Amino acid sequence: MKKYFLILVLFSLCSMGTMAQHRAIGLRASSAYECSYQLDAGIVNFWEFDCGLMYLGGGLQGTAIYNWIIASPEWTTEGDWNFYMGLGAGLGMTWGEHFHHRNEVLGGHLGLACMAGLEYNFWFPLQLSIDVRPVFGPYFGDGVLLNHHVFYSSLWPSVGVRYRF
C-alpha cells in the first residue's frame, strides 16, 4: 500500500511541475508563415517548435530550437523583455519551379537552425517577438546542393505573436 501511495504522490508532483511551465502558441511570419509553440525548459530557457508554409505555399518547413535567454533588460515597469539565442534543427520539403529556378518538382532540405531575437511579454497573456532564424544545410533534389535559397530567405526578420498560458 505504501508503494502505491508513494507512486501516486510522485505522479501528482510531476503533473504539478508540468502544469507550472509556461507555454505560448501563436503565429510567426516572414518568408514563411508558421504556427509557433514555445515551452519553458528550466528557469530561463525555452523550446520553440515552428511549422508552416514557406515561399507563399511553395514548400513546408518545420524547426525545433532550444533557446537560451541571454539578457532580460528592465526597460519597462510592466512586462518582460528578453534577448535570446538558440540552436536546433530544420527540415523541409519544396515543390514547383520557383525554388531553384529549374524544373524540379519535389525536393527537400535539412540542416542546423540558429535563432536570435528579442521578445516582449506583456503583463497580460500576449507575447510579441522579432527574430532571425537562418537554416544551414543541404538541399536534396536532382542532386545534393548547398541550400542557399532557404538560408538567404531565412535571414529576413520574422515577427511572432503568441498567446501565453
pLDDT in the model for residue 126 = 97
* pLDDT, tens digit, 9 for 90 and up, residues 81-112: 999 999 999 999 888 665 555 555 688 889 99
Tracing cell 531553384 back to the chain, one arrives at 100
Distance CA 118, CA 128 (A): 9
Distance CA 46, CA 57 (A): 28
DSSP E strands, 6-157: 23-29, 32-41, 45-54, 59-71, 80-95, 106-121, 126-132, 135-136, 138-140, 144-146
Across residues 56-74, what is the average pLDDT? 91
Percent of the chain residues topping a pLDDT of 90: 56
Across residues 4-8, what is the average pLDDT? 56
pLDDT in the model for residue 111 = 93
List the chain domain ranges.
23-164
Decide if domain 23-164 falls under CATH 2.40.160.20: yes
Q: Which residue has the higher pLDDT, 83 or 56?
A: 83
Contact 152, 161 (CB under 8 A): no
* pLDDT, tens digit, 9 for 90 and up, residues 124-140: 999 999 999 999 999 88
pLDDT in the model for residue 42 = 84
Task: Tell me: pLDDT of 45 over 60.
Answer: yes
Across residues 32-45, what is the average pLDDT? 92
Distance CA 132, CA 73 (A): 20
Task: Tell me: pLDDT of 17 over 50.
Answer: no
- The number of C-alpha atoms within 13 Å of 54 and in the hemisphere containing its C-beta is 27
User: Which of 14-42 are b and which e, b meaning 16 or more Cβ less than 10 Å from the residue's Cβ?
Assistant: eeeeeeeeeebebebebbbebebbbeeee
Task: Tell me: pLDDT of 143 over 60.
Answer: yes
Grid cell listed for 154: 531565412
Distance CA 154, CA 131 (A): 10
pLDDT in the model for residue 152 = 79
Distance CA 122, CA 119 (A): 10
pLDDT in the model for residue 11 = 55
Q: Which residue has the higher pLDDT, 155 or 114?
A: 114
